[in-house]
Chain A
């Protein structure tokens, strides 16, 4: 399938939901809603439901720091060293208690912070405490990545299993673009219910859980 065809199919599906005239909306307007859709369901669904966004980065620490990849969105698990010991995430407000926790290569601890050169560099880094501020140990970072921007020349990086959800969200906001608020409210309710039902199929505590029968 040529690049962009899956996005085109999504646009047509949105038009299909909106009816024959599709409210006179352009592809660009529908794409605005589709791009917002993928972020919205990625916030609402368990990570297990969006496996295409669950990514891994490996590397070596630099002075006990890790610079996350460009597409980094949320951290899920950080493994440190050749034996891949899982690091514990530490609340920033309790950094003063890290020493008491005796961080080491057997008991790694990490936190996220964005400071850098003043006034505000805003560069997000992962700070790892293993009792060696110059550590260059290898790491494996499991993280949720950012979905790529949808365009006529690019396809979604999530599976077609989420297409109906994306279309439902986009149709909701397209109705809002033409002030069709009664229909928009009804569709929004359907979208949120769909999210909840889908979320219920996945475990609440294990991010790589298999789909269950809870729903």
Chain B
């Protein structure tokens, strides 16, 4: 049932902050802190550590339009496949060299500008797909976190820090934030280029 995990996490946060009777923070505050925590993990961790956030959106091409809106929940583009071909992302600081790049539907290139993806060549009918990491939705009493079970304790640590900060207990808030960072580092280390923990789960360069 949706929300059971969230309720358990909120209960854990209350236990960790010493407020099991819910005297200091209401449920919505804690869910807000947990939602922020999930967004923090999406920002801090390698994409390979948050595969639950991966998604694809397909779009029809409307010639001669070259610019198309990005998905509303886009966090990071991973890949764009234009008519079955992986498109190369062109660096914005090198836009001046695009004309020499020979971009075409056979060798597609794209860049992102103004919340749109731009294909700088003659576009014909067809479709393209954006593979991307999406922004995680909010956590609530009826909405469980999207990230997997292994990330929940890390999110709880962040929420505990926010609880303490909310009532200006800076020492406690700082301790838990450092604990959260330490846990984030441990998670990220499993996906990095170097294998300090013997656990590269792959995708290290993404």
Binding site for B on A (CB under 8 A): 26, 28-29, 32-33, 35-36, 39-40, 42-48, 73-76, 89, 91-97, 111-115, 118, 120, 122, 124, 144, 146, 173, 176-179, 181, 184-185, 188, 192, 199, 202-207, 209
Task: Give CA–CA (A185, B172) in the complex, Å.
Answer: 10
Which one, B31-39, B112-120, B149-157, is touching chain A?
A: B149-157
Task: Give CA–CA (A192, B53) in the complex, Å.
Answer: 30
For B182, the chain A residues whose CB sits under 8 A away are: 192
A206 near B198 with CB under 8 A, answer: yes
> What 8 pairs between A and B have smallest CB-CB spacing?
A96-B86, A89-B202, A46-B198, A36-B153, A32-B15, A115-B56, A43-B186, A177-B18
Known: A113-B51, A177-B15. A75 touches B150 (CB 8 A): no
* Listed A/B pairs (14) with beta-carbon separation below 8 Å: A36-B153, A39-B152, A40-B153, A43-B197, A46-B199, A92-B203, A95-B79, A113-B51, A120-B146, A124-B51, A176-B172, A178-B18, A181-B172, A202-B198
A146 near B197 with CB under 8 A, answer: no
How many residues of B are in contact with the other chain, CB < 8 A?
53
B18 near A207 with CB under 8 A, answer: no
Interface of B, secondary structure class, is: mixed
Known: A43-B190, A74-B201. A95 touches B86 (CB 8 A): yes
Interface centre among A46, A115, A199 (most CB of B within 10 A): A115
Task: Give CA–CA (A206, B195) in the complex, Å.
Answer: 10
Task: Give CA–CA (A93, B86) in the complex, Å.
Answer: 9
For A177, the chain B residues whose CB sits under 8 A away are: 15-18
Task: Give CA–CA (A185, B201) in the complex, Å.
Answer: 31
Task: Give CA–CA (A184, B196) in the complex, Å.
Answer: 26
What's the nearest-Cβ distance from chain B to residue A209, in Å? 7
A75 near B202 with CB under 8 A, answer: yes
Q: Which of B175, B176, B190 contacts A74 (CB 8 A)?
A: B190
Q: Is B44 interfacial (CB-CB < 8 Å)?
A: no
Binding site for A on B (CB under 8 A): 11-12, 15-18, 20, 47-48, 51-57, 78-79, 81, 85-87, 131, 134, 146, 148-150, 152-153, 156, 160, 171-172, 175-176, 179, 182-183, 186-187, 190, 195-199, 201-206
A207 near B199 with CB under 8 A, answer: yes
Closest chain B residue to A146, Cβ basis: B149
For A114, the chain B residues whose CB sits under 8 A away are: 51-55
What's the nearest-Cβ distance from chain B to residue A127, in Å? 11
Q: Which of B15, B57, B149, B187 contacts A29 (CB 8 A)?
A: B15
What's the nearest-Cβ distance from chain B to residue A181, in Å? 6
A91 near B52 with CB under 8 A, answer: no
Q: Which of A46, A120, A179, A192 contacts B134 (CB 8 A)?
A: A120
Q: Can you name 17 extra interface pairs (CB under 8 A) apart from A35-B12, A118-B55?
A: A26-B20, A40-B183, A42-B150, A44-B186, A46-B197, A47-B199, A73-B150, A74-B199, A76-B201, A95-B81, A95-B86, A115-B55, A118-B57, A124-B52, A144-B199, A176-B18, A188-B179
